[in-house]
Amino acid sequence: MPTFNVMRIGVNTRLLLPGTLEGIGRFTHEVLKRMVKQNPEDEFYFFFDRSCEEKYLYDDNVTPVILGPQSRHPVLWYWWFEKSVSKALIQNKIDVFFTPELYCCLSVDTPTLMIIHDLAYAHYPRHIPFSHRTYLEHFVPRFIKRADKIGCVSQATKDDVKTRFSVDEEKLFVSYNGPTPGFKPLNNDERSKVRDEISDGCPYFVYIGSMHPRKNIGRLILAYDQFREKNPSLNHKLILIGRLAWKAGRIKEAYDNRPYKEDILP
């Protein structure tokens, strides 16, 4: 019988939030539920910053670790990663730390794999709250230097990281996002049923994601207006799915001032 060295894997799971998953939370969920099942001989320590839902503990080889404080502000981000998580990595004798977002621990030498989805704070600084932007501008270069390996969700992100921070090619790799089973073509009957349920039987455009200025929702609404004006015989709807985030007032203003707002469905 072959023998295996059990690996103790610590994971930043703070974005596996009760009741809701957004982009990075969804990424975390989809990756971990497969990783845990595919590596039953390894031990996973999931680091949460609040109580967790049972559905996120994917198998018996997962141990949840609740660490305060709830990290939703730059000061608390620092404390959570540099104090709470760093201490937990040492106490639980973690062999490798996996963090599926642009944060890691600087104060411990645990081998670290970090995922970078984008560098939006650098490209669109005016759309990021001042305190968040200041934190990211200071710490992201340090996180990138500290991480042992960095996964990027696209070639564009990899090129951006490599160029902006002069990162060695060997440190970076691309790991593309994938669709969940629900993302697949529907047959005609299924299409009609969905349209009846969400758009009164009309064809529609759909946006899914949090709604704040850097996602360009205002321009999307303007483009929809232009489409309707140029195609008066068509009755397409625009469906917006997601929570209103920081500075969402501009999006609401764009919506309120559009002539086809009755056909924009939140």
237-264 pLDDT per residue, tens: 999 988 776 566 667 776 777 788 788 8
57-87 pLDDT per residue, tens: 999 999 999 999 999 999 999 999 999 999 9
Residue 15 burial class via C-beta count within 10 angstroms: exposed 0-12, middle 13-18, buried 19 and up:
buried
Strands, sheet with 237-241, edge to edge from the N-terminal-most edge strand? 204-208, 237-241, 264-265
Q: What is the DSSP letter of 244?
A: B
Q: Is the pLDDT of residue 127 over 90?
A: no
Confidence of residue 188 (pLDDT cuts 50, 70, 90): very high
Indicate the CATH number of 188-265 among 1.10.510.10, 3.30.2130.10, 3.40.50.2000, 3.30.70.980: 3.40.50.2000
* Domain edges within the chain: 8-174, 188-265
* Closest residue by Cα to residue 257 from 203, 226, 221: 221
The CATH T-level fold of domain 8-174 is Rossmann fold (3.40.50)
8-174 matches 188-265 in fold = yes
The reported pTM is 0.87
Q: Is the pLDDT of residue 2 over 60?
A: no
Query: 152, 159 in Cβ contact below 8 A?
Result: no
The token duo for 51 is 């109580």
